[in-house]
Structure 1
Amino acid sequence: MSRTPEYDDKTLRANIRLLKGMLDNVLKNQASHQVAEIVEQLQRQFTVLQRDNNPAKRQQILKTLHNLPAETLSEVIRAFSLYFSLLNIAEESTQLQHRRHQIEKNKHYWRGSFHDTLLAFKNAGISAEQLQPLLDDLHYLPVMTAHPTEAKRRTVRGALRSVFVSHEKLQNSGIKGYFRDVALERLQSQIQLLWKTDEVRAHSMGVIDEIDSGLFYFPLSLFEATAQVYRNFQRALVDVYGSDAASKVNIPSFLNFGSWIGGDRDGNPNVKPHTTALALRLQARTITREYLRRIDILLEQLAYSHGMCQPTEAFLQSLQNDRDLLGDTAITLERNYLQEPYRHKLALMKFRMHRRMELLEQRIAGDSSQSDDQAYNNIQTFHADLCLIRESLSSHGDQAIADRDLQDLIRLVDIFGFYLMQLDVRQESTRHSQAVAEILSAGLGIDYLSMDEDQRMQVLSEAIAIPGGLGYDASELSAATVETLDVFQVMAQMRREIGNDCFSRYVISMTHSASHIMEVLLLAAQNGLAGRISGQWYCHIGVSPLFETIDDLNHIDGVLRSLLSQPAYRALLEASGLRQEVMLGYSDSCKDGGILASAWGLYRAQQQVTAISDDVGIPCRLFHGRGGTIGRGGGPTHEAILAQPPATVRGQIKFTEQGEVLFYRYNNMETAIYELTMGITGLMKASVSLIQPVEPDRPDNLQLMGELAQLGERSYRQLTEHTPGFLDYFYEATPVQEIGQLNIGSRPSHRKKADRSKYSVRAIAWVFAWAQSRQTFPAWYGIGSSLESYCAGNPERLQALRELYKNWPFFRNLLSNAQMALSKSDMTIAEEYSSLCSDPEAGKRVHGLIAGEHRRCVDWVLEIAECDQLLAENPELAASLRRRNDYLGPLNYMQAGLLRALNEDEDANGQSRWMNPLLRTINAIAAGMRNTG
């Protein structure tokens, strides 16, 4: 057995002491009487309880909490919550310092950096020239979603960013004496301000709030982080492969950002067609502001004078063209810059960009009637102007100047266009089927719903090709169908207004057949987005089927092969110039069949999609619908990409990022650089099959994993579908119903409010609620029983699993993630929640099943990893979880007590004085566990 290495980070402990000391000062001076003392008392009592788990110690905690007024309890909870936020800052800041020290000591940088990755490639015999085809196929596309998992208000996120920045300044050893005192005072005041800022939203978030929340990260960190990522890549390329590599290797703009915010209408009645238009216009305004800001920077910098340089003829002609376009306006704008050619040009460019901004503001306000020939109306013109400046600077020996801020702006234009993020539209398949049925009935008298799959595919293929779309009486259509058609009208309008690339894909959730994809194309054809003219197919929309449940994953082969064998669909796909994208749902498959069946089903699905792609000669890209938690496909991005099946990534990956994941990755620019880098280098390593052969999976490993998945699914379904009282336990022994009142999203937590079925509750609320009650079983339930059944006293099978853990990234990643989730579980605390059940015997029975599987999982994972405790191979994470646990435990006891009080103490209006402190516990526990859904 390997033992846990002693993890001792003096810097981290010093950072924690500093921030905690400041919080203690705030509590003593600003909080109600005894709050600071109660916080410390609860923390000490829980530490003792963990060492000596007996009823007397538990009663001490309950006694401390007993009879606390609701207001005092709220303050105690807020103190715990703020401690977790400051602990997160201390850890993030220390990790950043550690990476900086690695850079200072040598150029190898951190593990997973560009330098580290390229050096590994070089040592593996990959030349600079061989890198180019890999880079040419690279496409890294994180997609922001609006799923309700971010418990922090935007105001709080901004305040935490300020604390991080101030704390970072204190890490500079050069700040001493008076200047250090000033910095400490600033940090203290910011923590005091955080204490006075309510972390619970007073009002529910609307879709517009969600759009604004997603846009928040771009000016905060992502614009500069994106530019820095490319600079770092270029520098590492030269460092590793030599200065000649800069001329041999072109680093394309392989990074893009996507969004579902304002486009995802599946189950969210608040997302309307006009919401989608507004989302894109707000995105366009955000990137236009950034372009204006960076033009101002260039105006300050490029103060070249006539006679000191000779611009190219092409540049001078462009300048004259702008003067002709702007007419008398140009005379006013250029007055101060006539002797400075680049400033002259940039002043005119700034005016044109301002005119674009004015148009956007009018359209956001609801007036789409205006146009302006003097504005930048397409990104290509703006990009061309920037490139002319770069080429002109290079022509007179100033390429070093051109390669700085100007090159950063050109790179951002390549990446963000005028749309910022490529928007995905999502809707559930039955909405399209119903709309198609109504249109075909109204236009052609066809009974579409009575047809079998072959008949539907035939009708759809023929109907899409009808020039001008189908003729039908719109008055015969239902309101739902009219709204569905309006979405496609908006898509056509936004492509004209924002740019052809403003949409990425139209995603169909609950895809069960090939006709579901063709239905979307028929609806798109009604608004000129697809069709056939003069024998030529055209298509301005990409469609992605989403396979979510275990059953869906098992039917991918049949659906895809049927779709890609249709001549009309293949012609439309070829006309679009797009890859076939296939989306895989992690959260619903895990909620449906458990973590083993989900993980293995997704692994096999990727193999199937790649095999189909090879068979039919159509390139495919996988879109991973990951969440923040392990039970929803979460975990470190770098390792997750490397754990994909060999030769299936092929340069391109797209995945969702949501809620607290966005905050922890992008709220600070330095961390954003690190996270983007780790994702991109993971993609590069996983895509090496593009330039050299890779070892395929061993068939016996696949067979073994298939057997484990079957055993795990059986165990999980036995608990969640065949255990009497299980769903009552979920609704009564977790805060799932209260989560819906937290105002953290516009989407309902349930598909059907009164339905207590496993299907009705959304996967996010499912995972969030289990995590709150420290029963993170969606991330591990079934693993222990499957390993136990598989080995069954057979040492050879145990040894085979140990070898698998050492040598197979997929299996190692699966068990490593399970270790993290198991470490966040606490069955003693979960027992406290189980006592909330209206049927005490059912509560004990269900809790006993979950606790028993937890013990089995821990025992067998440790047996296979050959470790003596969880996370032995990741001492830094283990230490982090231990630090949190002494503060998480009391919060859980408070939450369980508040749930009990809430059940017993509702006044005539259905409200309780305990609701506010209860909502605060949800925020605090989410901050402590660092994930929600």
Structure 2
Amino acid sequence: MTAVDPGLPATEPLREDIRLLGGILGSIVRDHEGDDVFALVEKARVESFRVRRSEIDRAELSKLFDGIDIATAIPVIRAFSHFSLLANLAEDIHRERRRAVHVKAGEPPQDSSLASTFAKLDAAQLDSAVVEDLLRDALVSPVITAHPTETRRRTIFETQTRITDLMRFRERTELDPDELADTDKKIHRQILTLWQTALIRLSRLRIQDEIEVGLRYYQMSLFDVIPKVNTELRDALRSRWPGANLLPKPMLRPGSWIGGDRDGNPFVTGEVVHQASNRAAQVAFAHYLDQLVHLEDELSMSARLVEVTPELGALATSAGDESVFRADEPYRQALRGIRGRLTKTAEKVLDVVPDHGLASTLDPYSTPQEVLSDLDLIDTSLRGIGDEALADDRLATLRYSIETFGFHLSGLDLRQNSEVHEEVVAELLAWAGVHPDYTSLPEDERVAILSAELETRRPLISARAEFSELTTKELAIVTSAADVVRTFGGGAIPNYIISMCTSVSDMLEAAVLLKEAGILDPGAGDGPTSEVGVVPLFETIDDLKQGAATLLATMDVPVYRALVKSRGMNQEVMLGYSDSNKDGGYLAANWALYRAELDLIEAARTAGIRLRLFHGRGGTVGRGGGPSYDAILAQPTGAVTGSLRITEQGEVIAAKYAEPRLARRNLETLLAATIESTLLDVEGLGEDAEPAYAILDDLAARAQAAYGALVHETPGFVDYFRMSTPVAEIGELNIGSRPASRKPTSSVYDLRAIPWVMSWSQSRVMLPGWYGVGTAFEDWVGGDPEKLAKLSELNAKWPFFRTVLSNMAQVMAKSDLGLAARYAELVPDQTLREHVFGMISTEHAKTVEMYLAITGYDGLLDDNPALARSVFNRFPYLEPLNHLQVELLRQFRAGDEREQVKRGILLTMNGLATALRNSG
């Protein structure tokens, strides 16, 4: 059956942009790689579309690349990879275009925008006191993490930005033919630059590189967007409830894991923690100093022409600026004084003073609030002479930036596995003579010992102590974190996260390490305090089931409860999407997470604490990905109490935050969903909740059994996985600082979730995002129309169930079992290959059939026309990358281990990750 373009009239401008960019790219390929390479690229492109239209068999296309020489393969791979970059760019512009059409048509604001949320709040007529209570300690924190599928260099992003700006200019400006031709030449130059710039690095990323990659998004978009959105949100809420003390702190405050997440990463050290924190602070100071220079240029008002407040006059005088050229320019004098003091602060706290520093004899600032106080004097003076327009421009943005980012820029979380904590604490206790064999103790005795340690300031260590390499390293990390907290404040290291947390002792061991570093102070009879919170991470399905019990038991420990009380009765809990999915499959993991949230909400009520959930979502659906707005609204009632933290990873970060318009849209989405989930009833089940939960209990158990039968019980499955996907090559190639496995193993349990999911994405199986669901639905329905109707009813009224199905459909639409069959051919054992791939194919068909039956749709993407258009327009261009990856894997595994072959495989991985946009 011939594929039909969905929404052709709406997508024609997009298709025109793609044709323009693709045409320019094609001409560059011909000019610089020759006619033969260009002909092969064009042949592959044409044949890919013929495959989509079912005009030829896929095998005919794959023959184009059989035995291809690597010198020819690489430019072909680069051509299709660059096309994916340009197509992403065109799609982003098209989304802007479609939103503009809706706005001009006078349509209501789109869901997931703050404007839409405000309209819903107005309609709800909420009580001021209720709103103030629910938004107490409000926080939305996107937490940037390192990720091996995002290795593009800053140069690539900057070139893409220039192309985007030129395409916008081309569309929105009335150009005569000469101007249009000139603009197209400029686009050509940028694409030429893109073509001749390496997409990826040749060497393995170091953590220092990953730190820089994460920080680049601040200059690209976050400095521009976050302060403005915070201010607009605060103003909008306070205008609606003027009597409430809403958002005394900015609600949107970013975080990071890069340089603090040492779970399975041996390269994170105390020095790295220092580097990550100091580099982040350098970025913040550099931004502030740069903005102060611009303000000095702009606020040139003369005291001969305007009056200033006495406070501003005093600030200008105290700056000590003796230049005769600024003698009558008090605003400039004041700003130079601020810049001088901020420079002195930078000299005190940073390893390197950024550009635009100013030599000064003034005292450094002690806190960001002191800088704000001085800037507030300038603001007040401007407003006093009617210069609100000036006060509300760059000055306002700088003030809100300092309020949001402080001196530290973003909070760096620490994370380590509970097994490491246990080993380290056992060594400390043995050395100090507290107990010779802590690990042999039962849980209640462990808790008693740890509680006693948390109640005394007596240290377990001394300067003369000699410990193992592991313990020495872990102590250096928490000691470095303590230095960071002392230098930049508690916001610089907000949390200590415990991976694989299963018990009370796991929680207390981390607290003991914070105490030994001097971060947690047991107090002298008035109870413990800590600027860094202890956060359990519940990851596997069993741990999620026991999470609430673990939390309640920990809160029953008097010293820990006292610690939480000192933190305003706030307790954060992190939920792991990746390992739970790898453990039990898509549906079982999602339901285990929902059930865990329900249990944790009840536990928080019982314990009298305020719960904040931190969602460890990846980019792909198999790791908790999918549209953020829908995902947040799909949480159970009470799970989002004004606060949300969420990880942002890999190529998804680029897709969301590479430029200001994208960043604003995505940050608004997080805020809108958090506010709606907090203030409005969005679950939709009412009295039908418990029967619905019972159905999902049953479905999840069936899905987990079906998933386990393949992944954990099928003999040879791990061998099939390793041979039919590029997982081994992911571990060997230079695409991240962290090893692919937590430890040397051939077990699926010990493999990291990122390479697990990325491998299935590259091979277009997408198994973690759907396997087991079809069997669960089919077995539960059992041919009964009433049961099928019940699932359809749940899909219609329950956001959680609808989101689970929608996300599954999205990932299945990106799967392609025809291509997956090509990867299966890499498995030499024919019996194993046919058995496992047969199970996958059968389950895939069953899952699609049940999804369509439940939803009543005709296709997987009927509820997501934008993605349907993307799949139709762009996925044929992915096909050559998959075929080339298979061919190069075949050559590599046959013994051709030349660097060029390795690089070709890496390029295909990067190209596919870019094109799929949420592959790992």
Number of the residue aligned with 2:225: 225
Q: Would you say how many aligned residue pairs link Structure 1 and Structure 2?
A: 910
* Correspondent of 1:345 among 334, 345, 366: 334
Whether the aligned pair in 2 keeps the contact of 1:647 and 1:689 (CA below 8 Å) is no
Number of the residue aligned with 2:446: 456
CA distance in structure 2 between the partners assigned to 1:473 and 1:292 by the alignment? 40
Which one-letter code corresponds to 2:653 in the other structure? L
Whether the aligned pair in 2 keeps the contact of 1:134 and 1:690 (CA below 8 Å) is no
Number of the residue aligned with 1:509: 499
* Correspondent of 2:608 among 617, 620, 630: 617
Number of the residue aligned with 1:419: 408
Which one-letter code corresponds to 1:893 in the other structure? H
Which one-letter code corresponds to 2:574 in the other structure? M
Which one-letter code corresponds to 1:409 in the other structure? L
Task: Label 1:697 to 1:302 Cα distance change in 2 as closer, same or farther (>3 A).
Answer: farther
Task: Label 1:850 to 1:92 Cα distance change in 2 as closer, same or farther (>3 A).
Answer: same
- 1:390-441 CA-partner distances (Å, limit 9, x unpaired): 2233334334432332221111111100001101001111221112111111
* Correspondent of 1:572 among 553, 563, 567: 563
Note if 1:929 corresponds to 2:910: no
Whether the aligned pair in 1 keeps the contact of 2:296 and 2:332 (CA below 8 Å) is yes
CA distance in structure 2 between the partners assigned to 1:62 and 1:852 by the alignment? 24
1:932 Cα deviation (Å)?
2.5
Number of the residue aligned with 2:796: 806
CA distance in structure 1 between the partners assigned to 2:111 and 2:446 by the alignment? 52
1:87-106 maps to which residues of 2 (within 5 A)? Answer: 87-106=87-106
Whether the aligned pair in 1 keeps the contact of 2:316 and 2:331 (CA below 8 Å) is no
1:246 Cα deviation (Å)?
11
Note if 1:267 corresponds to 2:264: yes
1:581-592 maps to which residues of 2 (within 5 A)? Answer: 581-592=572-583
Task: Label 1:828 to 1:533 Cα distance change in 2 as closer, same or farther (>3 A).
Answer: closer
Of residues 207-216 and 306-315 in structure 1, the stretch that sits farther from structure 2 once superposed is: 306-315
Note if 1:894 corresponds to 2:894: no
* Correspondent of 1:745 among 736, 743, 754: 736
Number of the residue aligned with 2:521: 531
Note if 1:773 corresponds to 2:773: no
* Correspondent of 1:791 among 764, 781, 790: 781
SS state at 2:262 partner: coil
TM-score (norm 1): 0.93
Number of the residue aligned with 1:17: 19
Which one-letter code corresponds to 2:553 in the other structure? S
1:913 Cα deviation (Å)?
5.2
Task: Label 1:399 to 1:62 Cα distance change in 2 as closer, same or farther (>3 A).
Answer: closer
1:182-581 maps to which residues of 2 (within 5 A)? Answer: 182-230=182-230, 232-233=232-233, 252-306=249-303, 308-320=305-317, 322-323=318-319, 330-332=320-322, 335-360=324-349, 362=351, 374-446=363-435, 447-470=437-460, 474-537=464-527, 538-577=529-568, 579-581=570-572
Number of the residue aligned with 1:43: 45
SS state at 1:470 partner: coil
1:474 Cα deviation (Å)?
4.6
* Correspondent of 2:902 among 896, 910, 915: 915
Task: Label 1:468 to 1:689 Cα distance change in 2 as closer, same or farther (>3 A).
Answer: farther
Number of the residue aligned with 2:66: 66
Whether the aligned pair in 2 keeps the contact of 1:541 and 1:576 (CA below 8 Å) is no
SS state at 1:649 partner: coil
Whether the aligned pair in 2 keeps the contact of 1:736 and 1:766 (CA below 8 Å) is yes
1:343 Cα deviation (Å)?
1.7
Of residues 26-35 and 98-107 in structure 1, the stretch that sits farther from structure 2 once superposed is: 98-107
1:335 Cα deviation (Å)?
4.1
CA distance in structure 2 between the partners assigned to 1:740 and 1:578 by the alignment? 42
1:833 Cα deviation (Å)?
1.0
Whether the aligned pair in 1 keeps the contact of 2:6 and 2:868 (CA below 8 Å) is no
1:863 Cα deviation (Å)?
0.6
Whether the aligned pair in 1 keeps the contact of 2:264 and 2:743 (CA below 8 Å) is no
Which one-letter code corresponds to 1:735 in the other structure? P
CA distance in structure 2 between the partners assigned to 1:176 and 1:630 by the alignment? 46
Task: Label 1:166 to 1:474 Cα distance change in 2 as closer, same or farther (>3 A).
Answer: farther
Number of the residue aligned with 2:28: 26
Number of the residue aligned with 1:826: 816
1:626-775 maps to which residues of 2 (within 5 A)? Answer: 626-689=617-680, 695=686, 698-753=689-744, 755-775=745-765
* Correspondent of 1:604 among 589, 595, 614: 595
CA distance in structure 1 between the partners assigned to 2:350 and 2:849 by the alignment? 60
SS state at 1:634 partner: coil
Stretches of structure 2 lacking an aligned partner (at least 5 in a row)? 355-359
CA distance in structure 1 between the partners assigned to 2:519 and 2:582 by the alignment? 36
Task: Label 1:580 to 1:597 Cα distance change in 2 as closer, same or farther (>3 A).
Answer: same
Which one-letter code corresponds to 1:266 in the other structure? D
1:758 Cα deviation (Å)?
0.3
CA distance in structure 2 between the partners assigned to 1:668 and 1:848 by the alignment? 44
Whether the aligned pair in 1 keeps the contact of 2:685 and 2:798 (CA below 8 Å) is no
Which one-letter code corresponds to 2:484 in the other structure? M
SS state at 1:291 partner: helix
Of residues 44-53 and 729-738 in structure 1, the stretch that sits farther from structure 2 once superposed is: 44-53
Whether the aligned pair in 2 keeps the contact of 1:902 and 1:912 (CA below 8 Å) is no
Which one-letter code corresponds to 1:83 in the other structure? F
Which one-letter code corresponds to 1:408 in the other structure? T
Note if 1:111 corresponds to 2:100: no
CA distance in structure 2 between the partners assigned to 1:691 and 1:344 by the alignment? 53
Task: Label 1:745 to 1:890 Cα distance change in 2 as closer, same or farther (>3 A).
Answer: same
Which one-letter code corresponds to 2:265 in the other structure? N
SS state at 2:765 partner: coil
1:272 Cα deviation (Å)?
0.4
Task: Label 1:235 to 1:580 Cα distance change in 2 as closer, same or farther (>3 A).
Answer: closer
CA distance in structure 2 between the partners assigned to 1:900 and 1:529 by the alignment? 53
CA distance in structure 2 between the partners assigned to 1:237 and 1:495 by the alignment? 32
Task: Label 1:21 to 1:237 Cα distance change in 2 as closer, same or farther (>3 A).
Answer: farther
TM-score (norm 2): 0.94
- 1:365-397 CA-partner distances (Å, limit 9, x unpaired): 9xxxxx997223321211111122222333343
Task: Label 1:927 to 1:647 Cα distance change in 2 as closer, same or farther (>3 A).
Answer: same
- 1:889-933 CA-partner distances (Å, limit 9, x unpaired): 222122212222222243xxx546533322222122212212221
CA distance in structure 1 between the partners assigned to 2:818 and 2:192 by the alignment? 35
- 1:659-694 CA-partner distances (Å, limit 9, x unpaired): 101111111111111111111111111111599999
Whether the aligned pair in 2 keeps the contact of 1:352 and 1:376 (CA below 8 Å) is yes
Whether the aligned pair in 2 keeps the contact of 1:4 and 1:869 (CA below 8 Å) is no
CA distance in structure 2 between the partners assigned to 1:469 and 1:746 by the alignment? 34
Task: Label 1:118 to 1:912 Cα distance change in 2 as closer, same or farther (>3 A).
Answer: closer
1:58 Cα deviation (Å)?
3.6
Whether the aligned pair in 1 keeps the contact of 2:166 and 2:187 (CA below 8 Å) is yes
- 1:212-254 CA-partner distances (Å, limit 9, x unpaired): 000111011110011332465478679xx79x97999778511
Task: Label 1:697 to 1:469 Cα distance change in 2 as closer, same or farther (>3 A).
Answer: farther
Whether the aligned pair in 2 keeps the contact of 1:220 and 1:667 (CA below 8 Å) is yes
Task: Label 1:361 to 1:520 Cα distance change in 2 as closer, same or farther (>3 A).
Answer: closer
CA distance in structure 1 between the partners assigned to 2:463 and 2:350 by the alignment? 35
Of residues 30-39 and 246-255 in structure 1, the stretch that sits farther from structure 2 once superposed is: 246-255
1:695 Cα deviation (Å)?
4.4
SS state at 2:291 partner: helix
Of residues 840-849 and 372-381 in structure 1, the stretch that sits farther from structure 2 once superposed is: 372-381
SS state at 1:740 partner: helix
